[in-house]
Amino acid sequence: MTFKPAIWFPIAVVLSVINVVGAGFAAGQAEPLHATIHAALALAFGACDCVPAGASSRLGSKRSKRSKPR
DSSP string, 6-61: HHHHHHHHHHHHHHHHHHHHHHHTT-HHHHHHHHHHHHHHHHHHHSPTTHHHHHS-
How many domains does the chain divide into? 1
Q: Pick the more confident residue, 17 or 59.
A: 17
Per-residue pLDDT at 40 exceeds 80: yes
Q: Which domain holds residue 27?
A: 8-49
- Residue 10 neighbours by CB distance under 10 Å: 11
Q: What percent of the chain has pLDDT over 90?
A: 30
Residue at 15 is within a domain: yes
pTM: 0.62
Tell me which of 8-12, 32-36, 45-49 is least confident.
45-49
59 within domain boundaries: no
Q: What is the mean pLDDT of residues 10-34?
A: 90
* 69 lies in some domain: no
User: Residue 68 falls within a domain, yes or no?
Assistant: no
